Structure 1
Amino acid sequence: MALIRSLALGMLVLLNTAMSASATDYTVGDTSGWTTGLDYSKWASAQNFQVGDNLVFTFASGAHTVTEVTKSDYDSCSSSNAISNSNTAPTTVLLASAGTHYFICGVPGHCSSGQKLSVTAGGSGSSSGSGSTNSTSTTSPTYIDTYSSANLVPVGSNAAILTGLVMLKLGFSWA
C-alpha cells in the first residue's frame, strides 16, 4: 500500500512539474517594457504564444494602462469599449484562449504613438504570430496580481523532474 501511495505521489509531482514548465512568461517589449515608441508587432512576430502563456507588461504605475480591446478598437486606438483594463504595474495577462488578443495603452496619444500589441495564442501544437488571423478573443484575460504569493506557480526544472523520477524509482514514501 505504501509503495502504491508513493508511486502515485511521485507521479503527481512529476506531472505538476511538467505542466508548470510548459507555460512561458513573455515580458512585453523585453527590457524596454510597455512604453511608447516601440514596434510591438516586430517583437510579437518573434514569439510563439500558446494558450497558458503569460504576457507581463512592465511600466511605471500610473504612467500607462494595459487595456484589452476588440480588433476595431485596436485599429482605431479606442479604449471606450475595453474588454478589460489595468493600470497597475507590473500587469500579468494569462492567454487563456486561442486566437488573437489586442492590447493598447488607454492614455491619450500613447496608442497612436505605437503602444499597442496584437498577439495570437495558438492551441496545443500550433504556432502563432502577431495578428495574422482576423479572429478575436471572446474570453477576458485573467489578470494576475504579480505580488501575491497565492498566485505563484512552481516552475519546473531539471532538478525537480529528476527528484520525481528518483522518488518513483526508489518508491519513496512519507507514510
Structure 2
Amino acid sequence: MALAAAFLLLLLATPAAYAVQYTVGDSAGWTTGGDYTTWVQGKTFNVGDTLLFTYGGSHKVDEVSKSDYDNCNSGNSLKSYSNGNTVITLSTAGSMYFICPTAGHCAGGMKLAIDVVAASGNTPSTSSPPSGSPSGSSSSPPPPPSRSGAPSIMNNSGLILGFSLVLGAVLAVMS
C-alpha cells in the first residue's frame, strides 16, 4: 500500500519536470535590436513554463493587452517589472503580450507576443501565432513546434522529490 501511495506521488510530481524556462532573446536577452518575432517561432509555450527576461537598467518589461501591444502603449500595463532579471510563470492558456515601456523601444521592435497552450505532458502541441503577428505566406506547412529551451533546475525538484518518495517507500517496505 505504501508503495502504491509513493508511486502516485511520483506521478503527480513528475509533470513539473517537463516545464521549460525560456530566456527571452536567448544570450542577447531583452534588449533593443532583438527580433522577438523570429525568436518565438518554433517554440511551444505551455502552462507551467517560464519566461526569463534579462535586461539592463534602461529597459523594463510590461505585460499589456493586445491593443496596447499593437499601439506600444504602456499606460495601462497589466503588470510591470524592472529588476533586470524577471521570471514570469505562464499560468494560463491564451495569448500574452510584453513590451519595453522605455520611449521608442517598443516601436523599435522590443515587444513579444506569445500563445500559451494547456500543458499536455511532454508532447509538443501546435499553435498558431497570436493574431496580428506576421505569419509566413509559404504554401508548405510549417515544421512542428519543438520544446526547445533548457529545463529549469527549479522544476527538476519535483522529479527528485518523487524519486526520493519512491525510494523511501521501497526501503520502508523492505525493512
Q: Return the alpha-carbon distance in structure 2 between the equivalents of residues 73 and 9 of structure 1.
A: 48
Deviation at 1:70?
A: 0.8
Deviation at 1:45?
A: 1.4
Q: 2:112 aligns with which of 117, 129, 137?
A: 117
Residue 150 of structure 2 is matched in structure 1 by: none
Q: Return the alpha-carbon distance in structure 1 between the equivalents of residues 164 and 128 of structure 2.
A: 35
Q: 1:92 aligns with which of 76, 87, 111?
A: 87
Residue 28 of structure 2 is matched in structure 1 by: 32
SS of the residue corresponding to residue 42 of structure 1 reads helix
Deviation at 1:15?
A: 3.1
For each residue in 1:29-86, what CA deviation from the matched residue of structure 2 results, as whole angstroms up to 9, or x when unmatched? 11110001111011111211111110110112x2211101111110111100001000
| Consecutive unaligned residues in structure 2, runs of 5 or more | 134-152
| Consecutive unaligned residues in structure 1, runs of 5 or more | 135-151
What is the letter of the counterpart of residue 42 of structure 2? A
Residue 172 of structure 2 is matched in structure 1 by: 173
Contact 2:44 2:127 in 1 (8 A): yes
What is the letter of the counterpart of residue 12 of structure 1? L
What is the letter of the counterpart of residue 167 of structure 1? L
Contact 1:102 1:118 in 2 (8 A): yes
Contact 1:10 1:167 in 2 (8 A): no
Contact 1:98 1:122 in 2 (8 A): yes
TM-score for the superposition, normalised by structure 1:
0.73
Q: Return the alpha-carbon distance in structure 1 between the equivalents of residues 126 and 62 of structure 2.
A: 24
20 and 131 in structure 1: CA distance in 2 versus 1, 3 angstrom threshold: same
Residue 64 of structure 1 is matched in structure 2 by: 59
Residue 44 of structure 1 is matched in structure 2 by: 40
Residue 21 of structure 1 is matched in structure 2 by: 17
RMSD: 3.0
For each residue in 1:82-121, what CA deviation from the matched residue of structure 2 results, as whole angstroms up to 9, or x when unmatched? 0100011210111111111000001111101110000000
Contact 2:64 2:76 in 1 (8 A): yes
Runs of 4+ in 1 over 6 A off after TM superposition: none
99 and 133 in structure 1: CA distance in 2 versus 1, 3 angstrom threshold: farther
130 and 31 in structure 1: CA distance in 2 versus 1, 3 angstrom threshold: farther
Residue 127 of structure 1 is matched in structure 2 by: 126
